[in-house]
Amino acid sequence: MAGRWVLALVALGVGVRAAGLLLAGDLEPYGDESHYLYLALAWNRFGFYSDCAQYLWPPGYPFLLAAGLKAFGSHAIFAIKLVQVLISGVNGSVIMRLAGRLFGPRAAFLAGLLWALHLPLIGFTHYLWPETLYLTLFLPAFYWLVKWWQEPDRPSAANRWLVGAGLLIGLSLLVKEAGVLWCAVVAVLIFCRDLGWSLRVGWSRALLFLLSAGAVLTPWTLRNFEVYGRLAPAGATLGQNVYWGVNGFYLNFDYPPSVLARLPQINPWVHRRLLQPAPPNWERSAALNVVDQSADNVRRGLAFARRHPGFVLRSRLKKLADWATPLSFFVRHYAWQRYHGALTDPVIRRPLLVIAIALPMLILASAWPGLTGLRDPGGARSLLIWTLAYFLAATALINGMSRYRTCIEPVLIVLAAGFLSGAARPWGHRPGLLGCIGGWVVLAGLWGINLPEVLAVLKLIW
């Protein structure tokens, strides 16, 4: 029965995504979507992979686009999006298995239902963004790590799980480099976890995980060294993100230009308290070598932070609010009038808008008590805590917006399902209850910071 429920929910989620793909129609590529397409076209035309002037993106997603363009020609865009719809079923299946392992069958069912209807994730299946492919590689690896954490007394199987997780993490880093330092965090956790066996076991298993991921990344790293004369294990995108996120100006790609331009009038208190007075902007690096350009932008951002610590700290609070926003790129596409046809009909648009706002709020509000109330004798809770902390710090403290939450959204869905199913009960002890209430207070405060502009976006769409 459990297997049939999993298949039914995966079929539901894939079906909803397929319907979204058909209703979305022919979306014109925008922003980074156009850059990814250009890289794929240039790869097919000239036979090598180039960079994008300001970014050295990992080659995984452009490779998928290039293969699709070569195989399907003018029908490639729809074919690639259809592939994204189909492989999203892997994500749904792993989310349910992870929820079942951590919280039980009822939580697995709720997690599958939340995933199937989660419009922000659904939207990425019909965009030309790498998130769906990244999650298809990252989630099974994360599941194997959790499984290893809970079953350390099976050495031969444990080694296979660590190797498999490392290989898949390496492949995911060839799609998005966000987790490159997370590998080091996980290696330290593995080492500490195995100290109970012996120092030698701790070292060997930590290195086994790192070397498995490194084996996948080595050819790409050597290629970058040959082309740029610099070591870039995954890519070079951090510098540009630091430029957008740690500077005297404020930018959030969740907002349409009309809302962003009127931010001082829409939300004057936050603009005055958190974003003003704004120090002079620092100029983006003009280095022609994209790896040097990224490193130079990071140095300029750190120097800016040292010169203006008060502004940087205040603006980080706004970035945290942007990370926890109920908005998403699905909502943004409506605000930017990128959808056409059936999806723009008010009968369809308004219910979808309500769901697209309500589900992220429910998941964010439920994930924290799900984490604090997790009863996990296997010790995987430490992996969850450090993973969430890493992806929060590595994104929201640099350049917060809803897209940066996507790479960890499935884990939030699992935790939320644990709380909503009753399996995680943080009020069973006083520290857990206080921690749960404190988390809700912080989340409500972050939502309050962005409330005026969120309402402005919703009014624009409604």
Q: How far is CA 459 from the centre of its chain?
A: 27
Phi, psi of 262 (to 5 degrees): -100, 15
Long-range contacts of 200-207 (CB under 8 A, 24+ apart): 205/158, 205/159, 205/162
Look at residue 161 and tell me whether its pLDDT is greater than 80.
Answer: yes
Look at residue 43 and tell me whether its pLDDT is greater than 80.
Answer: yes
Cα distance between residue 157 and residue 154, in whole Å: 6
Cα distance between residue 194 and residue 376, in whole Å: 17
Instruction: List pLDDT tens digits, range 276-313.
Output: 999 999 999 999 999 999 999 999 999 999 999 999 99
Cα distance between residue 192 and residue 186, in whole Å: 10
Average pLDDT of the residues of the chain: 92
Instruction: List pLDDT tens digits, range 401-429.
Output: 999 999 999 999 999 999 999 888 877 67
User: Could you tell me the residue range of the domain that residue 440 belongs to?
Assistant: 2-461
- Range with lowest mean pLDDT among 5-19, 196-210, 326-340, 388-402: 196-210
Cα distance between residue 236 and residue 222, in whole Å: 14
Band of pLDDT at residue 192, cut at 50, 70 and 90: confident
Our count of domains for the chain comes to 1
Handedness of CA 355, 98, 8, 425 (dihedral sign): negative
**CB 131, CB 165: distance < 8 Å:** no
Tokens of 348: 């369809």
Tokens of 259: 């809302």
Average pLDDT of 326-336? Answer: 94
